[in-house]
Every structure is written in C-alpha cells, then in structure tokens.
Amino acid sequence: MSEITVPSPPARRTAPAPTRGSVSAAARAFGLAALLLLPLAGDEYWIKSVALPTLIFGLAALGLNLVVGVAGQISMGQAAFMAVGAFIGAIAYGRYGLPLPFAILAAGFASAAIGIVIGLPSRSIRGLYLMVSTLAAQFIVLWLLQRVPWFGAASHGILSIPKLALGPVAFNTPHARYLLTLAVVVPLTLFAANLVRSRIGRAWIGIREREIAAEVLGVPAFRYKLMAFAAAGFYAGVAGALVTFAWTGAATVEEFRLELSVKLLGMIIIGGLGSVLGSYLGAAFIVLVPIAISIALHAAAGLLGWSAVNAGTLANAEHLVFGLLIIAFLIAEPKGLAPLLLRGLDAVRNIIRPSFRRAGAGPQGEKE
Amino acid sequence: MSGDLVYGTELAITGLLIGVMYSMVALGFVLIFKASAVFNFAQGAMTLFGALTVVGLSPLVGLPLALAAALVAMAVLAVAVERWVLRPLIGRSALTVFMATVGVAYALEGLAQLIWGNQPRGLKLDIPQAPLQLGGVYVSPPDLIGAAIAGVCVMLLVLFFQRTKLGLGLRAMADDPIAAQAMGVRVGRMWAVAWMLAGAVAIVAGVLWGSRIGVHFGMTQITLKALPILIIGGVDSIPGAIVAGLLVGAGEALGEGFLGPFVGGGVQEIVAYLGALLILTFRHQGLLGEKTIDRI
C-alpha cells in the first residue's frame, strides 16, 4: 500500500526547506503554543469535554499510528493497552505512592511490555490474522484486569485514585490538569515526530512498504515490528494513565472496551495514516462529531417542535455518522485531514504573502 | 461422578446448539470472504438489522411478509455496499476494505436503531419452550429447531454453490478472481450476490438468535465471537466455520460450567479468543482452511 507519504529525508533537505524556514520557526512555535494554551481561557466544559480528550486520545492514536500508519501492521487492541496504563498508573500512584511522573512512566513501560507480547504473533502472521490476534488481546487483557485481584478493579471494574499532587503542587482544577496533560503530551509528540524520521522510523516505513525487500536490505523486520508494538503500547499506556489522572479520576475497565480501539483506528484514518499531526486532528474530529451532532439534533428538535432528543437517538445518530465518515474518508480522502489542513494553510499563506508560493513543492505536490 | 457427567452432557448439548448460531454468523463471513477476500466486520450489524426489521414488521404484516421484507432490505443493502463501498475501493489494501466494513457496521447499527428504536424486543416463533427429556438429558426445543433450520440453510447453500450457475461463478471467483473475470464472470455482481447471501444468512441467524435472547444491540457482539471462530475453522472453509462454531459453543458452555466458578465467571467471553490464539500460533490456516503459500 502506498497511500501514505512520509516525506523521505533527502527530499526534505533539498527543495522546500529554505522557504519553510523563512516563515520563522519561532513564529510557528509561538502560534502552536498559543493554540495549545487557548483552552485555558475557556470554561470547564470546554476543557473537560473537548481539549483533554482530544489531547489524550490523540496521544493514544499517535501510538497506534506508529504501528499501523508507519510500520504497516494492524492493531485492534490499542484500548486494552490504555487500560493497562490506566490501572498500572493508578496502582503505582495510589497503592505504592510513586511520584506522579514515575507513575506515568511505569504505566507507559508496563503497556510497552504488554505491547511486545501482543506483537509476538507478528513474527509469522500479518494482515487480518494479526488483526484477530490483537482483537484477542483486547478481550483477554480486559478480562484479566477485571478478574485478577491484584489490579484491584473488583467486580465493578473501577479503581479510584487519591488526590492528585506532585510535591506541593496539587492538580485539583481542570486547568491544572490540562497543563499536566500538555506537559506529558508535547514532549512525547515531538519525540514521535523525530522517531518517524530516524533510522527506526525509516525501517518501519520499509517494512510497511515491502517487508521482504526491507529484510533483504538488512532490516531485522521482526525486531522492528516488536519495537513498533512497544512504542504503540508505551504511548497508549501513558494516555491511559492520563485518562485516569487528568480526566476521569479513576481507572475503569468500561472506558477501554473494543469500541475505543475501533474509534482510535477511525481517528488515524480520518486524521491521516502515518501522520503525527493527523493523529491529533483525527482525535479532535472524533471528539467534536458527537458534540456537533448533539447540537444539530437539539437545534432541529427545537425548530420542528419535537420533544427532547433522547440519549439513545443521539448515540445512534453518532454511530451512523461515524460509520459514514470512515467510509467517506477511506474512499475520498485516504490521506486524511492532515494533508488537507496543510494544503489549506498553504492556500491561506499564499493569499497573505504571495511571495511564499513554492514551486509545486507542497506536501500534496509530490505525486506518487 | 455420573451427576457431573449428565451435567457435562447437558452443558455440551446447550453449547453445541448455541454453537449452531455462531456457525451461522461465521458462515456469513465465509461467504463474503470466499467471494471477495473481504473480512466483513458488518456481519453482526447485518444480523441486528435483519432481526430488527423482522421483529418490527411482523406485528404489522405477519411473519412471512416481514421475512420477505427483510430479505429485500438485505438485497438493497448488498447492492448499495457493492456499488458505493467495495467498488470505489478496488485495488486498495485488505486493511482499508476491512475498515470500510467497520464503517458499514457502525452506520448500519445506527440506522437500524434509529428506525426501530433501542428497546430490546422479544420475538415469538410459537415454538414450545418446555424442555424435552431425551435419555435423561434435558434439551430445549427452540435450540433443537434452531439447529435444524441452520442445518437446512447449510444444505441449501451447499446445493446453491454446487448446482447453480451463480454458485459456480462464486466458486470461480474464490478460486482465482482474475481468471474468473477473464472467463466473463462479473465481479461486481458476484460480490453483490455474496453479500445478499450473507444478508440472508444474517436474517436467519438474527431471527433464531432473537427468539432465544430477544433482539437488541448485544446481537452485534456475535460478530466478535464469529471472527475468532472464523480463524479457528479457516477463513475460506464453510465446513470449518460450522465445526469451529460448534466447538466454540461447546467449549464456552463447558468452560463456564466447570471453570467459571473458580475464576469468577466470564469464561465464555474469552474461550473463542484463546482458541483463536492457539490456532494462530500452531496452525494459522485454521482447522479446515486451505494452507496458502505466499509468493514473494
């Protein structure tokens, strides 16, 4: 499959680099920082139901994108990795009193370890068979979380955590929790962006494009595939810990059912397979769709004089739209929102400063 | 000891009869996989959609007409999926097409419940419910009748595949799509036919299943049972789907009955997946599937 273009390093170094640089990296960093801090100006609802889930699910989607979009494997168990992270994080912080950063790291590494185990079948099977084995992992991991007493989930599948604090700093407002999430998400995202461009990332892309050719060129495919699963697990684990710490305040099994795994896949398809930016765009999209549907349905109900829209109708409409969106993106925009957005930004820039027009070197310019 | 034996036999029989239902759903998967090499995640949603249509319409027009209407709905769905989902995705990776069927599954679930509502509905088929006693073992009549109907369906499918021109076309497609195309088999039409058959199987499975446990959203979860069953039996084998469905049904009932009390229940949730993992590790073409050799 050659649907994903990750810019190959030589091309980056030659053509577009100088013009890109002149849009001052500082200005772009400033713009991004402003965008990330924007939710702090909003109220609690805005942070809790849009900003936090976008960042947290975006992080998990980013991990999934490493294994699916970049390395070309398939995983339907990303939500189970998140669940492992949520519980290990809660146990490390609540039961063993680890400081918050170490609890989050522990969650990540525990999930990474599980990721390696789940990745083992990728040695001999691929494609849809691998999908079923990761699906199996999804069910078995959640089953174990609920049944093994050590996890403390008991029959309700819920493990709550004590008050969140790091030394003297208490994270007791949504704003503080948002900052905590940012502090975790931003470095990990930068790391992933660099990872994709590193030797490891190129090996992953090689495996995705043609595994046998990659092996012939000296890439130990199985080892790199395990690394991809470990990375996916790590990101999911950290995201799961963030769900517990920054968002819901308790580790629950229910949060991480298969539905979430499917949604994460939907996020990277809609956002853009193999794209770091796309992972967050997709997450934002999937987070916003239900809100938009809810607003639209309520408005329609108001106009047409229906009685209140019930939750079931909302959920059904959401499913319908989610399904149609996935199909539409797969058919019409297989590269997802990320290139669409970059194209849009380029167009805007061209209107403002025509001198920046680049001679067909935009991300969409390179035809395959 | 003999008490355990009777208990075990009853569990096994119950499990086997449930396994028949699993087989029916897995069969729908196999039909589509054989014709188009697509893993159809929407099979469970089709089961729900079919069952809801039958349940929703039968009080208005009677059961036979409701069944006919559901069949028509499935045919429309099959043609629509072929035209607007599969055809635009020709030549794309198997994963892409699979994700598209995930999209179909979500859309169909949402649509079915928007039309018919979220309430679980009962489905009465006028089958006596009192358990029969056969040689000291209790068996429930609806399960027996369900198994019989499923058996008839399988026979009809086999006849269809072996004796009709369409069946021949489907087998040709399964064997070698390009050669089949070269001989004048119309690929799109065959896909639509395969989806229609899968839809018909979904209706039968949905109605039988619904008469046992009611028709509700939980039905889509059967997909998630059928996927591992498919792997256990072999993705391209109709007998494999049936054997694996029966094995998993029995394994679930026995596992829950004998192991459940020790591990806190819920064994039936993972039996199928443990089986699938075993198969994937040791014999990944499945019990009865054809071993494929990858060409480099």
Q: Report which of residues B228 and B296 the model is more confident about.
A: B228
Q: Which of residues 28-87 of B touch A (CB under 8 A)?
A: 39, 84-85
Average pLDDT over residues A224-229: 95
Structure tokens at B24: 């029916």
B217 touches chain A (CB under 8 A): no
Percent of chain B with pLDDT over 90: 13
Cα distance between residue B49 and residue B65, in whole Å = 16
Q: Which of B29, B95, B296 to mutate to test the interface with A (most CBs of A within 10 A)?
A: B95
Question: What is the chain B residue with the closest CA to A72?
Answer: B95
Structure tokens at A116: 């390696």
What confidence tens digit (pLDDT) does each residue in A237-280 have?
Answer: 999 999 999 998 888 888 899 889 999 999 998 999 999 999 99
- Which residues make beta-bridge pairs with B139? B132
Tell if the CB–CB gap between A326 and B99 is shorter than 8 Å: yes
Angle of helix A174-197 relative to helix A199-209, nearest 10 degrees, comes to: 70
Q: Which long-range contacts (CB under 8 A, 24 or more apart) does A48-52 make?
A: A48/A174, A48/A247, A49/A287, A49/A291, A50/A284, A50/A287, A50/A288, A50/A291, A51/A178, A52/A174, A52/A177, A52/A178, A52/A181, A52/A246, A52/A247
What confidence tens digit (pLDDT) does each residue in A43-69 have?
Answer: 788 888 889 999 999 999 999 999 999
- Strand, helix or coil at A170? strand
Compare CB distances from A212 to B95, B107, B296 and report the shortest one's residue.
B296
Compare CB distances from A140 to B118, B270, B284 and report the shortest one's residue.
B270
- Nearest to residue B217, comparing CAs of B113, B99, B146? B113
Q: Which of B39, B81, B106 to mutate to test the interface with A (most CBs of A within 10 A)?
A: B106
Average pLDDT over residues B179-207: 89
- Nearest to residue A135, comparing CAs of A87, A74, A85? A74
Tell me: pLDDT of A8 over 90.
no
Percent of chain A with pLDDT over 70: 88
A contacts of B100 (beta carbons < 8 Å): 326-327, 330-331
Average pLDDT over residues B177-193: 87
Are residues A115 and A229 in contact, defined by beta-carbon separation less than 8 angstroms?
A: yes
Question: What is the chain A residue with the closest CA to B225?
Answer: A136
CA angle B196, B221, B189 (to 5 degrees): 15
pLDDT at A194: 94
Tell me: pLDDT of A20 over 60.
no
Average pLDDT over residues B186-214: 87
Structure tokens at B161: 């595949």
Mean pLDDT over the full length of chain B: 83
Tell if the CB–CB gap between B100 and A326 is shorter than 8 Å: yes
Tell me: pLDDT of B147 over 70.
yes
> Helices in A243-364 by DSSP H: which ranges?
258-271, 276-304, 311-332, 337-352
Structure tokens at A130: 């691998």
Cα distance between residue A234 and residue A236, in whole Å = 5
Tell me: pLDDT of A14 over 50.
no
What confidence tens digit (pLDDT) does each residue in B61-100 have?
Answer: 888 899 999 999 999 999 999 899 988 988 787 778 888 9
Burial class (CB in 10 A: 0-12, 13-18, 19+), B63: middle
Cα distance between residue A351 and residue A336, in whole Å = 24
- Which stretches of chain A sit within 8 Å of chain B by CB? 1, 3, 74, 121, 124-125, 127-129, 131-133, 135-136, 139-140, 143, 146-147, 155, 212, 258, 262, 265-266, 269, 312-313, 315-327, 330-331, 334
- Chains A–B, number of C-beta pairs less than 8 Å apart: 134
State pTM to two decimals.
0.86
Angle of helix B2-36 relative to helix B165-175, nearest 10 degrees, comes to: 90
pLDDT at B148: 85
What confidence tens digit (pLDDT) does each residue in A121-164 have?
Answer: 888 777 778 888 899 999 999 989 988 888 877 767 788 888 88
pLDDT at B296: 55
Tell me: pLDDT of B233 over 90.
no
Residue with tokens 């959920």: A315
Confidence tier at B256 by pLDDT (50, 70, 90): confident
What confidence tens digit (pLDDT) does each residue in B119-146 have?
Answer: 777 777 666 666 777 666 677 777 778 7
What confidence tens digit (pLDDT) does each residue in A311-323 have?
Answer: 788 888 888 998 9
Compare CB distances from A324 to B107, B231, B264 and report the shortest one's residue.
B107
Q: Which of B32, B109, B273, B281 to mutate to test the interface with A (most CBs of A within 10 A)?
A: B273
Structure tokens at B296: 């480099």
Q: Which of A4, A75, A128, A335 to mutate to test the interface with B (most CBs of B within 10 A)?
A: A128
A141-151 burial string, b = 16+ CB within 10 Å, else e?
Answer: bbbbbbbeeeb
Cα distance between residue B234 and residue A99, in whole Å = 49
